[in-house]
């Protein structure tokens, strides 16, 4: 659960206070026999955000970025408190024939207190496509993504696009026996809608991530994968 009151310093720059409550519950999944302890925690931090972008239905023309820091201030077990720093950057650029290039970078780092349950979990989103939801566990990661949106047909309530994509990530594995990088690539077909009563986008993705899911098919409904 998150609470983040904020203040807009300028039209493009904002500052937020972050308050978080987390309740982590773990259960044994074969073949893993070691289960991290359950615990709850309270955290506090801050987020600085920048946005100089103009919404254009199937892309945001411009640049946006965010930097956040969050530290646990109390937890129910006896482990040391951990801190988390995250950084995100997005740049969308309109090219010829209304094609749009979308570039993004996401990076995160979590301090290590030796508790196996304190990890960052990623998957099934831009930069992490071809990875099961919460399927990548790490304490340090940097992922980049590129999408090339090609509009193919306008309809009364929106627009259809086709978008080749590629993701690449470097991470520090929790289990040293696993890999430390991955590449995903493929193509997506999307319907971006502008009717108020409907979600923002419906999409179908087909791709490959050799280090995680292999060949995969993904479905997007709303604003998240």
* Confidence (pTM): 0.89
In this predicted structure, what is the pLDDT of residue 35? 64
- pLDDT tens digits for range 127-167: 999 999 999 999 999 999 999 999 999 988 899 999 999 99
Q: What is the DSSP string of the chain?
A: -EE--EEESSSSEEEEEEEEEEEE-----TT----PPPEEEEEEEEEEEEEEEEE-SS-EEEEEEEEEEEEEEEESSSSPP-EEEEEEEEEEEE-GGG-EEEEEEEEEEE---S-TT--EEE-SSTTSTTS-TT-EEEEEEEEEEEEEEEEEEEETTEEEEEEEEEEEEEEEESSTTS-SEEEEEEEEEEEEE--TTS-SEEEEEEEEETTTTEEEEEEEEES--
What domains does the chain contain, in order, with CATH numbers? 2-25+35-222 (2.40.160.50)
**Which residues of the chain fall below pLDDT 50?**
224-225
Instruction: Give pLDDT tens digits for 78-92.
Output: 889 999 999 999 999
pLDDT of residue 224: 43
């Amino acid at each position: 659960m998150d609470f983040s009151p904020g203040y807009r310093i300028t039209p493009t720059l904002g500052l937020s206070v972050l308050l978080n409550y987390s309740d982590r519950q773990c259960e044994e999944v074969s073949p893993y026999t070691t289960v991290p302890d359950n615990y709850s925690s309270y955290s506090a931090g801050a987020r600085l955000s920048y946005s100089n972008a103009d919404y254009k239905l199937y892309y945001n023309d411009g640049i946006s970025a965010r930097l956040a820091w969050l530290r646990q201030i109390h937890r129910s077990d006896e482990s040391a408190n951990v801190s988390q720093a995250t950084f995100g950057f997005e740049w969308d650029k309109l090219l010829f024939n209304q094609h749009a290039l979308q570039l993004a970078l996401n990076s995160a780092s979590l301090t290590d207190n030796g508790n196996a349950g304190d990890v960052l979990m990623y998957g099934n989103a831009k930069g992490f496509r071809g990875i099961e939801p919460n399927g990548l566990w790490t304490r340090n990661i940097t992922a980049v993504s590129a999408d090339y949106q090609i509009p193919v047909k306008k309809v009364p309530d929106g627009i259809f696009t086709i978008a080749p994509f590629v993701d690449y990530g470097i991470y520090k594995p929790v289990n040293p026996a696993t890999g430390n990088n991955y590449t995903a690539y493929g193509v997506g077909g999307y319907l971006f809608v502008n009717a108020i009563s409907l979600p923002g986008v419906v999409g179908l993705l087909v791709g490959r991530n050799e280090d995680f899911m292999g060949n995969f098919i993904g479905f997007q409904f709303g604003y998240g994968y």
